[in-house]
Amino acid sequence: MNQALQAIRGMNDVLPEQAALWATFEQAARQVLNAYGYQPIRMPLVEPTELFVRSIGEVTDIVEKEMYTFVDGLNGERLTLRPEGTASCVRAVVQHHLLYDGGKRLWYTGPMFRHERPQKGRYRQFHQIGVEALGFEGPELDAEHLMMIHRLWQALGLTGIQLELNSIGDYHDRVAYRTALIHHFEQHRGALGEEELRRLHTNPMRLLDSKNPAMAEVITAAPNLQDFLGEEAREHFSAVCRYLDAVNIPYVINSRLVRGLDYYNRTVFEWTTRDLGAQATICGGGRYDGLVEQLGGKPAPACGFGIGIERVLLLIEQQQRIQAQPAVDVYVLHQGPSALETALTVAEEVRSAGLSALVHSPAGSLKSQMKKADASGAHFAAILGESECANGTVTIKPLRGQALEQTTLPQADAVAFLAGRSITDE
């Protein structure tokens, strides 16, 4: 026998039994996105490598270690499987001049690829819902994003999620901060590992999110970015906080939060949970006012966020707030020579009435079919045994605890009954 092939480590199949949970999440997310007037955009999965180097930053974990990059054998171009969506979205907005008539509120969803060490909640192919608002300068946009995310957690019934918020100031604020950071870390060179020493002069802010335990104390003692913020960044941040207070969204200010991508300025945030172990961040984002210009567009402010779908689904399962949707409304059982034909006809009528139906296959004893019907999660079994076929009737058996007796009805009435009952008895 040939050896069965396996999926690549860290790249997972989403099996039918998980699909209902994905659909539930996606539906809730779409409702929230619609409620705030966001429009969908779809970008390619593969982009020129240069796009990510220029936006995420050359001296970052993603660009240095995690990108799936390859050379196109036909023309020698260096290409990369997208590790995130913001860069592609901004590229598309610039390429298609989408900002010519004012700001745009956009969202996208799909797989992202990062060559990380796989573990629970951390994968090499994972999925995000990303939201980007381009062309808007005011702090009300930062707040709008936080309100949307908060509303989504509420819609999903999730609890115990904390919003961590910070401002990393404007470009010139960070130039002064950079100098102070380099000075500080130079004085503690002994605690720095090889990677930190390499990044010290190219991107010292990355040292602040170093996972190296020997660095913990030095990081705690590092100068505080808040002390370097200019007046405009300060005002922007306090307005974001005021708007959150006005709608009662709690947050904590974490002055060490810098995010792992270089394009951010001013507001940055992460939503974290204690329920997922090490992969605690389920959403991250912030403002990136320089990126549109950096990618060749006319200068335009922007902000956005990305939600890690797998992590949110793990959290939903953990908190068990959402029951998986049943697979179908009606499971059709059949026994006897002409029963299958009638079963197919009844199932079609059920579908025409707006419900979903599944016809048992292959034939077997009614008892074994009933076991399958029970396990399928359907609301009703529609039974076509020999006597039903002879009499032109269907027996309807409720499967999911409805306050209904089993009943036998003429075929046409049975379909009308199912259409009425299965909706009103939910």
Backbone angles phi, psi at 376, to 5 degrees: -75, -20
**Would you count residue 25 as binding ligand HAM (CB under 6 A)?**
no
Name the residue nearer to ligand HAM (CB basis): 185 or 264: 264
Binding mask 45-84 for ligand HAM (x = CB under 6 A): ---------------------------------------x
Name the residue nearer to ligand HAM (CB basis): 170 or 310: 310
**Would you count residue 170 as binding ligand HAM (CB under 6 A)?**
no
**Would you count residue 135 as binding ligand HAM (CB under 6 A)?**
no
Q: Measure the CA–CA gap between 98 and 399, rounded to whole angstroms.
A: 52
Let me know: does 256 contact 206? Beta carbons within 8 Å: no
Q: Which of 12, 18, 203, 281 binds ligand HAM (CB under 6 A)?
A: 281
Let me know: does 297 contact 93? Beta carbons within 8 Å: yes
Cβ neighbours around 412 below 10 Å, total: 12
* Size of site (CB under 6 A) for ligand HAM: 23
- Nearest distance, CB of residue 261 and ligand HAM, angstroms: 6
Q: Measure the CA–CA gap between 406 and 421, rounded to whole angstroms.
A: 13
Name the residue nearer to ligand HAM (CB basis): 161 or 222: 161
**Would you count residue 107 as binding ligand HAM (CB under 6 A)?**
no
Name the residue nearer to ligand HAM (CB basis): 305 or 380: 305
Q: Which of 123, 153, 237, 243 binds ligand HAM (CB under 6 A)?
A: 123
> Which whole-number Å values give the CA distances from 402 to 91, 121, 289, 397, in the listed order?
53, 37, 55, 10
**Would you count residue 311 as binding ligand HAM (CB under 6 A)?**
yes
Q: Which of 43, 90, 152, 282 binds ligand HAM (CB under 6 A)?
A: 282
Sign of CA dihedral 193, 197, 200, 202: negative
- Nearest distance, CB of residue 86 and ligand HAM, angstroms: 4
Binding site for ligand HAM (CB under 6 A): 84-86, 114, 116, 122-123, 126, 128, 130, 132, 281-286, 304-306, 308, 310-311
